[in-house]
Amino acid sequence: MKKTLLFTILILLLISCKKNNDRLLHLDISFNIINRNINNDINELRLQNNKLVSDVNSDTVKDLNDSTIKYIRYLDSIQSLCLGNQTPFFFKGERSEETRLSQDFIKKTNVFLSKLEYNIKSPFLKKRAYFLLNVNDIKLDEQSFIMYVECFFRNVSCDAFDFFINDRKRNLLAIQNDILYAALLEQCNTLEPYF
């Protein structure tokens, strides 16, 4: 009787583990599809933005474009540092300290956002840039908060790290696209009519 009960429990355990593995496989496939779509968006936005930059005659826009390219290169460089499912923002260990790179990431992002804030005229675009790119700590209640890098990057796999960085790149390029279209529209409105 004990052997039958033990055998039944073992079979149930194996079946339940298989179901969880199947569920994880579906989640992994979905995650990879979403990440691939984000990469496609990034490539499409890069192509659009490169064309728009050549159409806009504004030193401010060209300066913002240079800053955007520099920031994207920076994001590319930190993405390449994720090895063996160890994010470059934290030292090894469950409750390890953040690395200097995580502080650098926060600093460079805030400098980039300040530059956008200073140069963008549209309140809507300023808010959009802030909401999509800010790296402020997340307030849980009146007395407690969680650091941005803690929330998004602690104990994540390199796939998840790539996802979050790619999502940031896509958001950045979408904002750049909006800025370029706004500048092009403003430029067209200042031209003399052809008729």
**Residues ≥6 apart with Cβ < 8 Å to 38:** 163, 166, 167, 170
- Residue 28 pLDDT level (bands cut at 50, 70, 90): low
Which tokens is 69 given?
């390219």
Which tokens is 166 given?
């790619």
Indicate whether 7 pLDDT > 90.
no
Residues 102-161: tens digit of each pLDDT: 899 999 999 999 999 999 888 999 999 999 999 988 888 888 888 888 878 888 888 888
C-alpha 77/C-alpha 91 separation (Å) is: 18
Q: Please state the length of the chain.
A: 195
Q: Which residue has the higher pLDDT, 4 or 37?
A: 37
- Residue 3 is predicted with a pLDDT of 54
Per the CB < 8 A criterion, the answer to whether 172 and 92 are in contact is no
Indicate whether 193 pLDDT > 60.
no
Indicate whether 194 pLDDT > 50.
no
Q: Which whole number is the average pLDDT over 22-39? A: 72
Single pTM value for the model: 0.80
C-alpha 54/C-alpha 180 separation (Å) is: 10
Residue with token string 């004990």: 2
Q: Which whole number is the average pLDDT over 158-179? A: 93
Residues 41-89: tens digit of each pLDDT: 999 999 999 999 998 888 888 899 999 999 999 999 999 888 777 788 8
- Residue 178 pLDDT level (bands cut at 50, 70, 90): very high
